[in-house]
Amino acid sequence: ETGVTQTPRHLVMGMTNKKSLKCEQHLGHNAMYWYKQSAKKPLELMFVYSLEERVENNSVPSRFSPECPNSSHLFLHLHTLQPEDSALYLCASSQPGQGVETQYFGPGTRLLVL
Amino acid sequence: EDQVTQSPEALRLQEGESSSLNCSYTVSGLRGLFWYRQDPGKGPEFLFTLYSAGEEKEKERLKATLTKKESFLHITAPKPEDSATYLCAAKGGTSYGKLTFGQGTILTVHP
């Protein structure tokens, strides 16, 4: 157990649905990340939050909307997704300021868009 | 643009048959090279961080090494429980917090 939890673990949604993914870290870290992992492709960074402020947005479509209400929680709000958005969505956290910080990952949410 | 390439894509070993996984990187101002292990249906599990060429780190049957262009993950006398996907990632000096990942090597160890 890495101290990063994600819910739900599995999600099936239609293209017109709205859903949210939740991530919580219990490591006392100040930075949180969303990644997308598709089959046969490397992990793609989507968003980075540091001290609840978004510091990086990797050209992600607006149908993905992140929210970081505090340093322990991170959400990814989903609406009008496309089938190609089906993937494993991973949350990670790290503690900046201690050299090159290591990112610790949650178990992921497996998303299927029909 | 930062790039990380892992080889081979897949590796099948017999139990006890040692081998190495390769991670080649092109990163501006490398600040860290990371190795993760990922089991099916789970998130990546941190293994090692290497910071500078010549550095080596060990954990049980795994040893990671780093040169100026590539990193190796050596697996000595592997066991079936070492079967997993091994991911390499590099952090450059440009973007905040951004790790560039390779596509991974799927390792299968047969008893």
Q: What is the pLDDT of residues A67-110, one digit of tens each?
A: 999 999 999 999 999 999 999 999 999 987 656 788 999 999 99
**Looking at residue A85, what is its pLDDT?**
95
Helix (H, G, I), strand (E, B) or coil at A85: helix
Q: Would the CB atoms of A42 and B4 count as touching at under 8 Å?
A: yes
Q: Which residues of B6-33 are buried (b: 16+ CB within 10 A; e: fewer)?
A: beeeebebeeeeeeebebbbebeebbbb
Which residue in A24, A55, A103, A104 has the most chain B C-beta atoms within 10 A of its own C-beta, making it the best mutation to test that interface?
A103
The Cα of A100 is separated from the nearest Cα of chain B by a number of Å equal to 6
B99 to chain A, any CB pair closer than 8 A? The answer is yes
Residue B51, pLDDT > 80, answer yes
The Cα of B25 is separated from the nearest Cα of chain A by a number of Å equal to 14
Inter-CA distances, B95 with B29, B31, B88, B90, Å: 11, 11, 18, 12
User: In 10 A of CB A6, how many CB atoms?
Assistant: 21
User: In 10 A of CB A58, how many CB atoms?
Assistant: 14
Which pair of tokens denotes residue B59?
Answer: 């954990």
**Taking an 8 Å Cβ-Cβ cutoff, which residues of chain A contact chain B?**
2, 4, 6, 31, 33, 40-43, 45, 48, 50, 55-56, 58, 90, 92, 94, 96, 99-108, 110
Residue B98 binned pLDDT confidence (cut-offs 50, 70, 90): confident
Mean pLDDT lowest for which of A41-45, B19-23, B83-87, B97-101? B97-101
Question: Are A15 and A111 spatial neighbours (Cβ–Cβ below 8 Å)?
Answer: no
**Looking at residue A24, what is its pLDDT?**
97
